[in-house]
Structure 1
């Protein structure tokens, strides 16, 4: 729980990606399994498919296969895992995440929660969807959290908007 370590989950990044998803931190289940969004209550993998971002529903263990679709993954806390409220105050390394995005320049960066977007952008997020900031040439998007703990805020529609944006690029 909240253990400092080498990267809990490796970044899935390379130049030329259409879309990168960025969360806050790996949950305990994801850290144990070594796979992004691994908790069965997390809607991430279902949302990717239902929104039309992926052609089928992937399993958490298949996350490396997203690169073939032009999709990458990262998070703000690379050395800590757990619920956001339980993370140390310095768990999020925003400068490192920004540097990765500036280096790899995906077309879109989608934060998988308002909390992640707020932490990275340094301001409250008023609405889901496109945000006014750019990181280099990368456009920024905020999504409802797929976490089971955020179920009352769940809405697939911003994920569908993201899918349309990603296809237009």
Structure 2
């Protein structure tokens, strides 16, 4: 992995990172916003301590652990990645409540256009802020965006000590099973 200086990472602040999307995906994963390492590399979940890629594999979504630089391979598995807020920052707490609300509005429009079976927001706090749902918990949500079901997953950041890679993988696997089930019924109705 390329090593970046503090100055190079700071230069990536506010940079936009292209989505990895296509119409009709099984699952569109949605991060909070790109971190500086993601913005510097142009690859989602690129920070070495982020557990997204290992957990995606451990949960059975991918046959092997992909590297962030291999993110386009997700499309071949019916998976994609976007973010609630497009702007890169060093920490999610740099985002404003208005950015979350506007991000939620834009995300709903994107989902309505792309029509994935499931939108999986990685981070319950981001989901609560973006969709004004303060009581949301990890797991399937009652909310739908058109025909798209919504699932909230734990934040894979290495800073999220409440979840281990194994317990995260179990929650991701619940979503995978729901996304593959006949009739795609998995969740609350």
| Superposed pair shares fold, TM > 0.5 | yes
TM-superposed CA distance for 1:82, in Å, is: 2.5
> Which protein is bigger by CA-based radius of gyration?
2
Gaps of 5+ in 1: none
Deviations 1:6-50 (A, max 9, x none): xx2111122111100011101111111111001111110001110
Normalising to structure 2: TM-score of the pair? 0.82
Residue of structure 1 in register with 2:176 after alignment = 163
Tell me, what secondary structure is at the counterpart of 2:85? strand
Specify which structure has the bigger relative contact order, considering alpha-carbon pairs within 8 angstroms and separated by 6 or more residues. 1
Normalising to structure 1: TM-score of the pair? 0.91
Tell me, what secondary structure is at the counterpart of 2:60? coil
Match of 1:98 among 100, 108, 131: 108
TM-superposed CA distance for 1:81, in Å, is: 2.5
Deviates more, 1:120-129 or 1:10-19: 120-129
Residue of structure 2 in register with 1:26 after alignment = 34
Structure 1 contact 114–125 (Cα < 8 Å) conserved: no
Distance in structure 2 (CA, Å) of the matches to 1:145 and 1:117: 11
Structure 2 contact 128–136 (Cα < 8 Å) conserved: no
Higher strand share: 1
Question: What is the RMSD of the two structures over their aligned residues, measured on CA atoms?
Answer: 1.7
Distance in structure 1 (CA, Å) of the matches to 2:54 and 2:104: 27
Count of residues in Structure 1 that have an aligned counterpart in Structure 2: 167
